[in-house]
Chain A
Amino acid sequence: NAGVTQTPKFQVLKTGQSMTLQCAQDMNHEYMSWYRQDPGMGLRLIHYSVGAGITDQGEVPNGYNVSRSTTEDFPLRLLSAAPSQTSVYFCASSYSFGGWNSPLHFGNGTRLTVT
């Protein structure tokens, strides 16, 4: 099993450009989520999904869109990149919302720089 696969690993964008960060999991997990990691801020939840066709906003959703058409895939779209979106992005999947017997399985991240 590959687990959670994120692509690309690195990306540089100019302000105003759009792009999609890809995330795929092969563990048949219903829950998938996107976090951004910034120094001193920990991991902040952007969007999450509890199953195909169902998404919801997290703590910092502005400037990002998600969709969940299949159980396996959960892409994150940046509509118009801003320097404040420079960060490391992590996708995670789990059986449930990260509680007992439902640990989050993370991908290895996408490092995004917006100039």
Chain B
Amino acid sequence: QQQVKQSPQSLIVQKGGISIINCAYENTAFDYFPWYQQFPGKGPALLIAIRPDVSEKKEGRFTISFNKSAKQFSLHIMDSQPGDSATYFCAAVGNAGNMLTFGGGTRLMVKP
């Protein structure tokens, strides 16, 4: 039973379009929500992260939107580029000493 549910599993977007990946969680003890990006043949790497005391965080073309009451958060990639083609994982962790919990991943393909 996944504690963090991610959708969609795969996504195809045209160059210049907006990519949107959604995640939902159940555990209200989670208090940190990172997104990891993984290129083929590589391990995941931290992309951007948010804490629940803010509703949005933006870094360049990447934005996290966070809805605490709905227990949902999403990643928006503006002006998507072919170089953004990768697998994206949302994740969550609390302060109880448990390790990071990941969503199921979204494979993004940006077509030129």
Contact = CB atoms under 8 A, between A and B. Distances in A.
A67 B36 CA distance: 27
B93 interface: yes
B89 interface: yes
B42 A98 contact: no
B9 interface: yes
A53 interface: no
Interface residues of B, number: 29
26 contacts: A37-B105, A41-B104, A43-B89, A44-B102, A45-B101, A48-B99, A50-B97, A90-B43, A97-B98, A98-B32, A98-B99, A98-B100, A99-B31, A99-B32, A99-B93, A99-B95, A99-B100, A100-B32, A100-B49, A103-B34, A104-B36, A105-B45, A107-B43, A108-B41, A108-B42, A109-B42
Contacts of B98: 97
Contacts, number: 69
A37 B41 CA distance: 12
A37 B97 CA distance: 22
B43 A33 contact: no
B93 A97 contact: yes
A14 to B, nearest CB: 25
Interface residues of A, number: 27
Given A40-B9, A43-B89, A103-B34, A97 B99 contact: yes
A58 B93 CA distance: 14
A8 B112 CA distance: 35
Interface string B22-61: 0000000001101010000111111001010000000000
Contacts of B45: 105-106
B85 interface: no
